[in-house]
Structure 1
Amino acid sequence: MKTSKLSISFLEIKGVDFIPEKGYSLDSDDIVIYTIYLPNFMEMKSDLSQFLNSVELKRVKRFYKEIDKDRFVIYRSILKLILAAYTKLNIKNIYLDYDFNKKPYLASHPWLHFNISHSEDFATIAVSRKKVGLDIEYMSKDFNFTSMLPDVFNDNETQIIQNASDKKNTFYTLWTRKESFVKALGKGIDEDFKFIPCLDGEHDLEFSLIKNSQNWQVRSFDLDDDYLGAIAFEGLPTTAVNINLYNVSQNIFALLEMVK
């Protein structure tokens, strides 16, 4: 029976301010995570909306809440700026395609893998030459997750959450790991979600579960107060990997430098 390996652990990483520069490139071992604190970009939303095409602008109108419209404009526009910087395409020529699980990709540049996650005031974007999945979550004080534990975790994982001194943190840590991994696989949340490993350590994965024979890593990280994240990517722990966490510039002129 075909099996692959999954390694799960915590990543100590701190975000640093990112200064846009020319000559964007990715080595095979690079993973770059861009963080966007959305409230800081609200005054820029009209400038950023110019980078959205007609399909994306129609999508904006489908959001019910104004805050959700604004957030989409911001993180979608910055995603396109980032993709344009790495592909050297004109931003007006950045068109996202979607696979059968609605995971976006660039048909024109299949070597560039990316993933985006949004939760409340933050959005994050990961880019790499490796397949990646990214999930961030705001650890809501009002969300009662207890009732959903049997549906998304096995008995051992559920017991670990229930016995944890910080149940909320443990729940979100394990949830983001599962979510980031299925996003990397392009599976989405399905009936197999409960059986995706999420505890620290090395795990054997059957091909029948993930429909994939690659080896994988998942790394949890602290994003900000009350925010947790996880990044999933191809490779064994022995494979060299260089992960950087950058805070996107809040200056429109600096952002435009990305695509000059």
Structure 2
Amino acid sequence: MPADVELARAIGFVHAFARRRAPREIAVPGGFAVLDDRYPGSYDDNKLIVRSLDPQPSETAAAKLLRAADEALADRAHRLVCVDDDRLGTAVAPAFAAAGYAQETNLVMAFRGTPAQDPPAAERLDLAELMPLLRRDWRRTLPEAPDEVIDGLAARVEARLRGADLVGFRGVRAPDGEIAARADLYVHDGVAQIEGVFTGEEHRGKGYARALMASLLAEAAEAEAELIFLVADAGDWPKDFYGRLGFAGLGRVHAFLRT
């Protein structure tokens, strides 16, 4: 499968996943916005997603997107605009920066290797076990946040169950029984995404994430996924870790956030 086709399928998967999990969707120039009134502070559940844009001659692309974000997210305390066309994202970046947005550039990566034949088994985590882990990890990340914010950030995971035919929460344990690394696996219509790979700080550098990834790749292959992909920060070290596991870059996407 050509890389440009893989990139289009991966981006299409992300868009469809966001739509299926969102209680509310509205059209915006070049794309759509997803909204979830249950979790108004969740960036990922309340955002604009833009694939391409043909601005009117009298208005720049950046101005159109900035206005769309203000309108669609008017009752939210944040603005998040995801631009999934690299050229468009690069072009609008200066205007977004001037408007007070921080930019993140991510790399869409596809698996090019061969899944292990007998990988270590990852444990299936149900919501009852996953929720306390999410609360704990969000509390560590946001020590000053009110309890209701932490609870909301953890509870929103339930919406992911509507995003794909197969939505699996997986983890591997340390010898003491604690979940050392965890991640999500989504599979739909022959495409698989690995998302949310997380290793507890006290467990890093011990091979747990590698074992988890090997198990997820084997599971995706068993589900007959023709494309296995993930999205990694283009400027951070995990992309190199994924590269060593057999992932290769397909293209860049951009996210602009103002809080």
* TM-score bucket (shorter structure): under 0.3
Q: Bigger relative contact order, structure 1 or 2, given CA contacts below 8 A and separation 6+?
A: 1
Give the TM-score normalised by structure 1.
0.28
